[in-house]
Amino acid sequence: MFFAKYKVIPLLRFVKPSHSSSYLAVLILCRMTLAAEVPVETNLNTFIRDYAHLSGTKFMCEEGGCGSCIVYVKRKHPTTGAETTGVVNSCLVLVFSCHQWEITTVEGLGDRKKGYHPIQTTLANYNGTQCGYCTPGMVMNMYSLSRQGKGPTMAEMENSFGGNICRCTGYRTILDAFKTLCVDAPPKINNSCHDIEDLQKVRLCRVRDQACTRKCSLSENNHHLEEGCRIPVHILLVDAQWYRVSSVDEIFQVFTQIGEEPYQLVAGNTAHGAYRRRVEPRVYIDVSGVPELHTLTTTPKVTLGGNVTLREAMEFFNVISAQDQEYAYTRQISDHIDLIANVPVRHIGTIAGNLMLKHEHQEFDSDMFLLLETVGASLIIKADKGSDVTKSPAEFLDYDMNKKVLYQIVLPPYNNTYVFKTYKIHASKSENYLKGKSVFSQGTLTGVMNLLEQELKPDYILPDMSPEYRKGLAEALYYKFLLQLSGSRVTSKYQSGGELLTRPPSSGIQQFQTDSSQWPLNQPIPKIEALVQCSGEAEYVNDHPPIPGQLFAAFVLTTEAVGNIIDIDPSPALLLCSGKVLYEGQPLGIIVAVTRKLANKAANNVRIQYSNVEKPEIQLRDIVRTKDGTRGDLGQANGADIDKGATVPIGVTHVVKGSFCSSRQYHFTMETQTCLTVPTENGLNVFSSTQWIDNVQGAIAQILAIPENSIVVSVRRVGGGYGSKISRANFTAAASALAAHILNKPVRMILTMETNMRAVGFRPEALNKYEVGVDDVGNIKYLKSDFFCNIGSSNNYSYALEIPILFPNCYTALDWSVLNHDVMTHMAAQVPTRAPVTFQCIASIEYIMQHIANVVQKDPVQVRISNIAAVHPVLSMIAELKTSSQYDKRLKDIEVFNKVNRWKKKGISLVPMQHDLLFIGTFRALVSIYAADGTVTVQHAGTEIGQGINTKVAQVCAHTLGIPLDLVSIQPSNSVIAANGDSTAGSITSETCCYATIECCKILLARLEPVRLTLVDPTWQTLVSTAKALEVDLTAAYIATTDTHQARNHFAGRELKSTSTIPGTRAPKKKQYQTLSCQPDLGNLKGGGTTIIGTRWREESAPPSDHEEVRSSVSEQSSPQTFIPHTPGLLFTQIWLPPSQHHIFETSCPELGISKRCPDQLSPLHGYALPTA
């Protein structure tokens, strides 16, 4: 067939409702759709934001992991012609693939002009937003669920959010909001908001200004395209060629035409999320519209086309497993696929795409490959138009797939004598050993375990887990499978080890009290910006409209951790440093280009030559072990002067020694470090995503040697900070300002997630080595602690003074000695992270308390109580919490459960916490009253980072002035109001800004009082308009300065967990908090708690063992990832996955008999037994 070479004519249609100035984006793409200047690799997200100028859809990871880019799509199935709907990650989908797609962005649901969608109002009313950056993606995901016929159940809803990350909220408020929209929601919450039927009613037609009848089809809006939807498309672009084919024959015709040009078959393009392309293809062949590749048949055998999506495969397997006993096993495949990637990825990711990714990157851990290999599937490969080749999955890996098509996957039938369970283990020698043997005999179990120990030799390619852990996990999973298979053959005590831990839909309640006489102060209301966050109208730095002539900047980063730079090729336009390298990922230059993609690509292509390259010092434990004085200071002792060589104090019956290590943790802000700098007649206008406005202004002035008053820094809101944007926002702000100052053009700098992780820094790793003398009941007689902090390449943050103060928590510390050590390593300088130091200190002392309880064989709660002063207020909280949570009864029930279950265990803990707040620094507020209508604006020196500072300031303003809340608005912060101010940090900024606002209001009320006395019961509007006529100043400013009084908050938390001591899963069940001194900010409390859970469960870093691995993790590995992220020199296991994902159980507690990787009790010689019933 001949492919015509059409010239590309701009043709982009947006269907705009007549009832609104905001519109729903509908992209209709065919052979003459996109303008020639659109690069072929342009993804849908870039097109939506940069070409359609719809900023509601966000981006962050650009690999389909975070969910901020989710949009709703409607398209026709290539085989059936039926309309299919769902969500996709717009950062992955190439825009040229969107042939005849109807795409709905968050702007299409509702806004402040035409009204909000019930999903948006529900999420806002349930306080489901904090920083709000992830919110449009959450809304669109729920919108998709609401369009799926009967509506989702609560379990289906929670499972569907596995691809949406929120770092702020802890998910509870989001899930609680969306549960009200589920069909099985309890009546109590189902009646509180709109239900699914209501969602259908409010939908307006996108073409006609009337209620939607849902009878429209794609063809109504683009009937002229219907006829040509299967016409072959060939688009000649500047940088590549794009083909869209509609048959397998046409694929081979393209192969013939392109010769030896590098090409890529394109369907979902989800592989780009796992591996960035090493070489950009010159030819793209869109095969998503080929009907033969989407077939699903059951005769003579179950056969799936290569382009069947993972979601289609799941649905197909669910049907045939119920209809055909010989294919009942496919239900297990469907359940396993549910653990692969996430809903948006499964919606467009194909089986062939997954297998081809494994073919190209054989280190890729493809579940699909193992599933098909396990069941003995056959892969049908089209070698050319007339010949088929059949290969097993294993044979396929070594088969040359150049100019071939993975056509079909054929599954064999199995009768009911087979049992099929899936785990990620592939050990052929062990499989052969088991043939002909009774798997239920102890001898066979011991033999196969020993063989697995010998056979399994996992490699260590970042970001994989350590080989030791993966080997132990494989052995444990086989044992788990065997217990599951054994059923009643083994004693009941062992049977629970075969059970999969399942998490029911999350649930929880929170109780708080308010004083309605003080409203709107302390009134539980949604955040004042919640609705604009839910509609995508909330503006972040990168949402500023494009500016003519704007440029984009990107950092060039070092690829070595230790050495000297001797040459850079090509030389970047702007050099930031030269000579000695401090850490891998250190910014050394800036590349400026006309597009962000080009700037990043050019930065990655810069080649740097080094001399004197050495192995970096990155592991805290190694430095401490070798006592390298050149890297760690001696520290300063605080507390009692305890002679380590002295006689053991009187009353000590046990000496407890051990160590506790808390890992590094990435902040994972959904908005990466971002800045826009615009030259003006006065100097520079800087729009920075920062927590410290004054610091950014000062840094730019210092670097450019220009007056500070020529720089205006503005911040409306920040898309997540958690401490990372206190000082590290200076990186992007200074770089952007430098480029803009030199080039005299607007310059944007938006760091990629990879650059953000490499250059910015983390929560510091901390190691505490302790020795504690206690009596028989656990009373501490003395304590010695050496606290080591990995502060990275710079000591710009030292916690030497804070650690001794925070470490005791709420315990009496009369005979305690705490010695802090700052340890420098070849890593990015550490950065404060949510509860900096407080977390490390409290986690460490509570670990010690648990260790003491284990040694003296006492209840940990009693050990804690015995070390708290009798007059301490936290004791009453502990007593109340024990009663309200039925702690003692639950503890006895757990003890009984654990005695009768060898492997599955439950646990409960009750932990007190004391958090000291010191109000330091200066924060200013400016309150202005407008006499014409009585409205009020407030501008303060804090930064809205999701903590609700704007809402709180508005509430105190309205309360103090005695006016309705809706008369108050908050204006963006800038360096004028924040001149000489301090950072938004330490949980004090909301309070100080509120205090400054109250004082402003008091000043204004004092000015208004004489006017009030001349009037008879005036209204607010009458009062202020009269005051204006009398030339009363209706604007007041006040600065809150350092308060020497210290605030102290006390908490007692109770947590219940269920876990399996066989590595595999771990599920939190319940958590309770009470506060003594103030009403808690529930959203921040939940989010902060979940971040800490991430540190201990999911986000542990594991530096590789030698320098070569550090270097290769940058130059050869795939990018840091949201599902298995890593950064050079670090390994993160499953960083910050949403609640629907499954957890891997790892812990470190050698003193309690639990080791980090593959506990001894799980080795083949310790505990793997099959005692018969």
Q: Which residues contact 892 (CB under 8 A, 6 or more apart)?
A: none
Q: Check the CA dihedral 61-67-71-73 and report its sign.
A: positive
Annotated ligand binding at 200? The verdict is: no
Nearest Cα to 251, choosing from 240, 263, 260?
263
Annotated ligand binding at 1001? The verdict is: no
Q: Are 383 and 248 in contact (CB under 8 A)?
A: no
* φ, ψ at 43 (rounded to 5°): -90, 170
List residues bridging with 787 in a β-sheet.
Answer: 768, 820
What is the side-by-side order of every strand in the sheet holding 233-236? 233-236, 241-244, 283-286, 263-266
Annotated ligand binding at 1096? The verdict is: no
Annotated ligand binding at 957? The verdict is: no
Q: How many other CB atoms sit within 10 Å of the CB of residue 390?
A: 12
Annotated ligand binding at 66? The verdict is: yes
CA distances from 1088 to 72, 499, 667 (A): 31, 31, 12
Nearest Cα to 810, choosing from 909, 915, 914, 910?
914
3-state secondary structure of 1153: coil
The β-bridge relationship of strands 283-286 and 263-266 is: parallel
Nearest Cα to 544, choosing from 44, 10, 49?
49
Separation CA 135–CA 57 (nearest Å): 9
Q: How many other CB atoms sit within 10 Å of the CB of residue 525?
A: 16
Q: Are 769 and 785 in contact (CB under 8 A)?
A: yes
Annotated ligand binding at 720? The verdict is: no
**Residues present in the chain in total:** 1173
Annotated ligand binding at 661? The verdict is: no
Per-residue b or e along 771-793, where b marks 16 or more CB atoms closer than 10 Å to that residue's CB: bbbbeeebbbbbbbbbbbbbbbb
Separation CA 572–CA 555 (nearest Å): 10
Q: Are 746 and 547 in contact (CB under 8 A)?
A: yes
Separation CA 354–CA 349 (nearest Å): 7
Separation CA 117–CA 534 (nearest Å): 9
Separation CA 1138–CA 162 (nearest Å): 5
Separation CA 954–CA 529 (nearest Å): 11
DSSP letter (8 states) at residue 29: B
Annotated ligand binding at 69? The verdict is: yes
Give the containing element (helix H, strand E) for 1092: helix 1082-1093
Q: What crossing angle do the helices spanning 172-179 and 118-125 adopt, rounded to 10°?
A: 130
Annotated ligand binding at 691? The verdict is: yes
Annotated ligand binding at 134? The verdict is: yes
Annotated ligand binding at 834? The verdict is: yes
Separation CA 721–CA 705 (nearest Å): 28
Q: Check the CA dihedral 12-17-20-22 and report its sign.
A: negative
Q: Are 686 and 711 in contact (CB under 8 A)?
A: yes
3-state helix, strand, coil in the chain (%, to 5): 35, 20, 45
Binding-site residue numbers are: 61, 66, 69, 91, 131, 134, 166, 168, 406, 424, 691, 834, 986
Binding-site residue numbers for Mo-molybdopterin are: 691, 834, 986
Binding-site residue numbers for FAD are: 406, 424
Binding-site residue numbers for [2Fe-2S] cluster are: 61, 66, 69, 91, 131, 134, 166, 168
